[in-house]
Structure formats: C-alpha cells, structure tokens
Chain A
Amino acid sequence: MDLNYTPDELAFRDEVRAFIKDNLPADIARRVGSGEPLTKADMDLWHSRLNAKGWLAGSWPREFGGQSWTAVQKHIFEEEYAAAHAPRIVPFGVAMLGPVLQAFGSKAQQDYYLPRILSGEDWWCQGYSEPGAGSDLASLKTRAVRDGDHYVVNGQKTWTTLGQFANKIFCLVRTSTEGKPQEGISFLLIDMDTPGIEVRPIILIDGVHEVNEVWFTDVRVPVENLVGKENEGWTYAKYLLTHERTGIAGVGFATAALDSLKRIARTEMNHGRPLIEDPHFAARLARIEIELMAMATTNLRVVAGAAEGKAPGAESSMLKVKGSILRQQINDLARRAVGPWAVPFVSEDLEGNIYHPGPEYSARVANSYLNNRKISIYGGSNEVQRGIITKAILGL
C-alpha cells in the first residue's frame, strides 16, 4: 500500500499544472468557476490549445494521435484541469466516438474521422435518448431502413447536448425489430447538414440552451457511415458507456467547486462574522469535505485497478452515484451560502451578458444548483446505476 504518486507521475502533474497556468485564459477560468455558460469560440480555443500540445485526447493510443496515457496520467490530467477551472473537454468526439471508432470502426472511418475530431473540424453530438427511451435506452424507436446504398432515417432524438454547435451526430438507430430490443440497434454516423434534420432548442430549468431535440425526416445516410456491423450497435454503445469511465466521479470538479464554496463562505457575513465560522455551516462544509477525501481515494482505487488492466465495470456505477450526489451537495451548500442573493434569478441576455445585483460569486449559484440536478439523471440515472450495482456487484 502506497498512497503517493511515483516521481514520474509527480513530474507529469507539474507539467500539466504549468501548461494550464500558461495557456488557460483567465477570463475563461473565471467563467467556468462561476458557472457561466461558455461560447463555442471559448470551447474551440481551449480545444485547439490542448491539441497543439497533443493533450486533447491524451489517453488515445499514439497510433491515433494520442499520448497513450496510463489511467493514472489521465486521472492526474483530469483532476488538474478541473481544479484550475479549465472547461470540460467536450466529450462527444474525444471521449465517446473516438474510442468506439478505434475499437470497431473501419480503417477508412478511423483515417477520416479521428484527425477531424482532434483538429476541431468536426463537432460531434450524441443521438441516443428519445422521448420514450430514457433509462430504458434499448427501447429506442428511431428507424433506419436500408434503401440501396443508403439508410433512410426517421425519428426523434432528445437531450442532444450542444447539438446547436455540431456538424455531426452519432446515433443509435433501430434496424431490426426481431428478437430482443438490444439486438436490432445499429450505430450510424450522420452529417447534420443532411436534408431532413431539424434541431430544436430545449431551454433548461436554469434558463440555459444546452440541449436540443433532433428530428429526422427521411434522412438519407450512406451505408459506409455504419460503424461495425448492422444490429450490433448496442455492443458499441455499451463499450462507450464503460470505456474509460474513471473520470465519472468528477472528483476534480467537486474539488474545484468546494474551493469556490469556501471562498464564498469566507466572504459572506453571518451575524457580522464570516459564514465559514458559523458552527452549523462549518459542520455542513466539513461533512462534505470528509466525503470528498474518501471519494478521491475510492476513485484512485478504481484508477489503480484500471492501470493494472482491470476494466472498471460496475465500480464506475458506484463512482457515478456517490460523485454526483457529492457535487450536488456542494451546489446546494453554495446556494445556502449566498443567502438572499440566491433569489435574484438571472439568465444571460442575448449578448451573453449577466446582470445580478449581488456579489459576482453569487450570480449563478442558484442556476448551477438547478442545472446540476441533471448529473444524477444523465448518462444512466442514479436509479439505473444502483440497479447495476445490485445485480453486477451484489449479485441480488
């Protein structure tokens, strides 16, 4: 048992820290820290700087343009950039589609799409959920019917995150209604410019346009855009959901959020004293910090297992449940910390400006609290995760 990083790992951590310090614009870090939405230009800028360093997809194999990072290196990178309030790397191309193409795509697909993910030429979004297929994803109904050398796609996808910026979408579509629902699903790559695709915004409870509905009406997709084999898309989707899920706990995000929360609590006054000295508030804060310290080690135990070649399976469900609850608790405490300043409820105007009468750190605390209710719902709700733990780990 040794709780310390190796000298090589420590050197890597220092390199990551130095790179972020030199390359992350202060204004972007400030906005990430206060929960303001970023523009596409902000995200593109950060992606291109990471890509120039070769770190946009550091855990991809070298042959595909990555660094072949170990699980520990990937963990260090994720923790460092989250703690520095760097923007989340948009996961759809880099973390989701990339590994699927590397494992199941054709040589032609790998050669064409992977470099375009790294260069930012393609912005991918995800077409998985449907209005009737959420937790029960396999019940999806969007149909793809073969017609000569095309599939003709009809249906509706939803919760398509940042689809308004995307030029490509990877979709799970139904190509067969025979057998179990999982057995008739295929994995298709679709150009968003294809006639018959319509993107409609969904405004969320915090006033932000983050997700969309995507409608498909007689959309013709070349058959060479099928990934792997027809009717085996569920296997690829599951691979995507369990591949490299060590970041799922969000320890870095939680650490950064806890730091912000402490800054708020040191500044806000309660009965003329800093709120952080209030015994009730301090106790709430301490309980969260104790959870986070243990969570960091639980996460590292899974990372170390992955480094030894054990693919994290149901353990990632444990990390997701605990990690999402912890992050939500931090959001809840930030809401409490700002007191009455949580009441003025302001979204950005059309120019992206935000006017809030309270201190800057209070402006989006209620919005972030509301927005992060999503993290126990998306990517397999916590109820679905608990079901996986019950079956796969506990054997009940």
Chain B
Amino acid sequence: MDFNHTEERRMLADSLRRTLARGADWATLAELGVLGALFTEDEGGFGGQGFDIAVVFEELGRAGSPLPVVEAGLAGGLLADCGQAELVEQIIAGTLRPAFAHGEPGLRYDHGPIRTRYEDGRLTGRKSVVEGAEGADLLVVTALENGDTVRLFTVAPDAPGVTLYTTPSLNGGSVSEITFDGAAATPIGGHMGLVENRIEAATLAVCADALGAMETARDMTLDYLRTRKQFGIVIGKFQALQHRMADVAIEIEQARSAVINLAGHLHADALARDRHASAAKNMVGRVARLVAEEAIQMHGGIAMTEEYALAPVSRRLIAVDHRYGDEDWHLERFIRLSA
C-alpha cells in the first residue's frame, strides 16, 4: 500500500504548478511534458497511466487553465489507437493541437447513436458542444460508415464544408457547434470500443481537474474567512461557518479518494473501470457543486462579481457536471453496472 505519487510524477506536478501560476501557453505545456504524460511509451510518450492523467489535470484545474488539454488528450489517444504515430509525435511536441468532435444534438450525455455520416469520402452531420474546436489544427470525428458502423475520421477545421459556430464555455475555454456539409475527411479506422476507452480517461481528467479547482476554491474561502471582519471579528470565528467549512474539507477528501480509485482502475477490466468512473464522476459532480456554492455563500457578495478571482473557479466547478455525464447519468450507469 502506497498513496504517494512517484518521484517523476511529483516533479511534474511541482513544475507544472509553478509554471501555471505564472500563466502558460500551449508550447510551454508541451515543453513541461504535459502532453507527453498523456501517452504511454508505446505511443511515444512517457506516461499514459491513470495517475499520470490525475497529476497533470489536478494542476491544470488548480490553476484554472482554459487550455483544451482534455480534448487534445482524448483526440490524441484515438489517433494513437488508430496508428497515427506521426500525428501523435506532433501532438507531444506541441505543434499539433487536435480536438474531438463526437457529441450530437439530442444525445445529452449518451455516447450514441451517432448520426453523422461518412459517404464517398465526405462527412455530413452536426456535432454539438465540442470543446476546444476553435483554433484546433485537426478534428477527430466519429461518423457512421456504410450507414451502420462508427469509425473515426480526421478533418481540417478550415476545410470547405466545415462550419464552426463558437461561443465561450462555462468552463473558461470555448465550445463550438460544428456542421459538416460534405466536408472532405480522411478515414483512420477505429471503433466505438476505442472511443469508450478514451472517454473514460477523459472522465478521469475532468474529475482530477475538478479536484484541483475545488482546492483552489477551498483555499480562497479559507483566506477570506481568516481576513474578512464583520461584527468586530474575523468571520472564520463563527462556528456556523467553521462547521460548514469542515464539511467542505471532508467532502473534498472523499472526492479525492474517488478520483484515486478511478485512476488506479483506469486500465482494469471494463466493468471495474466503468464502475469507478461513474462513482468518481457522480461524487465529483455533487461535491464540485457543494464547494462552489459554499465558497460563494461564505464569501458573500464579493464572490458574485466577475472581478473577483473566484468567479471563473465557480463556473468551472459547475461546468464539471455537464461534461462527460452528470451526476444522474453516472448514478444510473453505476446502478446498471452493479446489478
């Protein structure tokens, strides 16, 4: 039994934390090894295990980074699965940023059925709430081949027949609705099983990101409770607030354990992995909301303002529940998998 991260992972987390605190662009992330940490040695990286993903995304979440690393890891993983070693090499080097276009209107959080079609070398259909598509170098797209089998395709986002409609994201980056109207695409093979595997890894990434963001919200709230005075004393001396803060701390530790469980089972058999993914995502969705709401309430009015640094953290924590399945979606799946 050992709940310590390896020396390499601790070093990566430390350097990442220091660099992100100063602000980091995509090239800097690549230099630090963030992208390499998402791929196994076989794929050309130096990580790719559950705890590599957990360490990296916890720091990205702690710093509130708006960069679409989850999506690059997901799309890049699928490219690796499909033998696109050259593209993966560019991703790890930071010179190619891919995004993954999979969800469609009406699917809610389900992974299918996919309606986008690939016929005669061209894609037709609509992908919905795609994170990080704006400014991406390459889109990895799921579509039906021969009308019945989901396969993977790559498309240039600026190719004729591709239209992006982009808005800001609750999460801090951007999301796009993408319309394919006979856009030329390259088939790279693959199947839904690979997509499911990579979505579980992305779910871990989002959970770990939330954990970092929760700790940021907790620390900001603690600082405020220690300094804000009302009725002549710091408000952290009020027992009603102390006890609520204690509950927040307990819940964050529970969420951390759930994320550890998932990271440790990411490469276990699919049933064990998916149960832990749903357990973690259900709990993280619930706790992230609790932490955001309590942080706002205990701060009071100041936390309602855009100017105060908690605002993007709160939005990020609420957005967690809308990415890769919400509390109820994962509760339902957990029940099904436990039957």
Contact = CB atoms under 8 A, between A and B. Distances in A.
Interface of A: 129, 132, 134-136, 139, 158-159, 202-205, 207, 268-271, 278, 280-281, 284, 332, 335-336, 339-346, 355-357, 366, 369-370, 373-374, 376-378, 381-383, 386
B138 to A, nearest CB: 22
A280 B300 contact: no
A340 B165 contact: no
Given A342-B170, A343-B170, 17 more contacts: A134-B301, A139-B231, A205-B306, A207-B306, A270-B108, A332-B289, A339-B109, A340-B109, A344-B169, A345-B167, A345-B168, A356-B167, A357-B165, A357-B167, A373-B293, A373-B304, A381-B300
A369 B318 contact: yes
Nearest to A280: B328
B256 to A, nearest CB: 24
Contact of B300 (A134, A205, A268, A270): A134
A332 B288 CA distance: 13
A370 B328 contact: no
B314 interface: yes
A351 B100 CA distance: 34
Contacts of A355: 167
Nearest to A369: B318
Contacts of B240: 383, 386
23 contacts: A134-B230, A135-B231, A136-B230, A158-B301, A202-B307, A203-B307, A204-B306, A205-B305, A281-B328, A284-B328, A336-B321, A342-B170, A343-B131, A343-B171, A357-B129, A357-B167, A366-B170, A366-B318, A369-B318, A378-B301, A383-B238, A383-B241, A386-B240
Nearest to B129: A340
A136 B304 contact: no
Given A340-B322, A373-B297, A383-B241, A268 B304 contact: no
A340 B103 contact: yes
A342 B230 contact: no
Nearest to B241: A383
A271 B106 CA distance: 9
B300 A346 contact: no
A271 B333 CA distance: 12
A356 B332 CA distance: 29
Given A280-B328, A339-B326, A343-B175, A205 B311 contact: yes
Interface of B: 103, 106, 108-110, 128-129, 131, 165, 167-171, 175, 177, 229-231, 238, 240-241, 289, 293, 296-297, 300-301, 303-307, 311, 314-315, 318-319, 321-323, 326-328, 331-332
Main secondary structure on A side of the interface with B? mixed
A370 B300 contact: no
User: Sorted from nearest, which 6 A-B pairs have the closest CB atoms?
Assistant: A136-B230, A345-B170, A203-B306, A344-B167, A340-B129, A280-B328
Contacts of B109: 339-340
B241 A340 contact: no
A346 B169 CA distance: 8
B230 A139 contact: yes
Contacts of B314: 205, 370
Contacts of A340: 103, 108-109, 128-129, 322-323
Contacts of A284: 328
A382 B300 CA distance: 10
Given A346-B167, A366-B318, A374 B304 contact: yes
A281 B326 CA distance: 12
A175 B229 CA distance: 22
Nearest to A382: B297
A377 B230 contact: no
A341 B326 CA distance: 12
Given A134-B300, A345-B170, A203 B110 contact: no
A67 to B, nearest CB: 35
B179 to A, nearest CB: 11
Contacts of B171: 343
B318 A204 contact: no
A204 B165 CA distance: 25
Contacts of B331: 280
B328 A278 contact: yes
Contacts of B303: 205, 373
Q: Which of A129, A134, A203, A205 has the most CB of B within 10 A?
A: A205
A347 to B, nearest CB: 8
Contacts of B332: 280
Contacts of B318: 335, 342, 366, 369-370
B331 to A, nearest CB: 6
A343 B165 contact: no
Contact of A373 (B108, B169, B296): B296
Nearest to B332: A280
Contacts of B108: 268-271, 339-340
Nearest to B168: A345
A202 B305 contact: yes
Contacts of B322: 335, 339-340, 342-343
B297 A346 contact: no
B128 A205 contact: no
A383 B297 CA distance: 9
Contacts of B238: 383
Contacts of B311: 205
A163 B230 CA distance: 25
A202 B328 CA distance: 35
A330 to B, nearest CB: 14
A340 B177 CA distance: 12
A270 B289 CA distance: 22
A381 B304 CA distance: 13
Nearest to A336: B326
A268 B109 CA distance: 12
Contacts of A382: 297
Nearest to B298: A383
A345 B106 contact: no
Contacts of A386: 240
Contacts of A383: 238, 240-241, 297
B304 A204 contact: yes
Contacts of A374: 301, 304
B168 A346 contact: yes
B177 A357 contact: yes
Contact of B323 (A129, A332, A343): A343
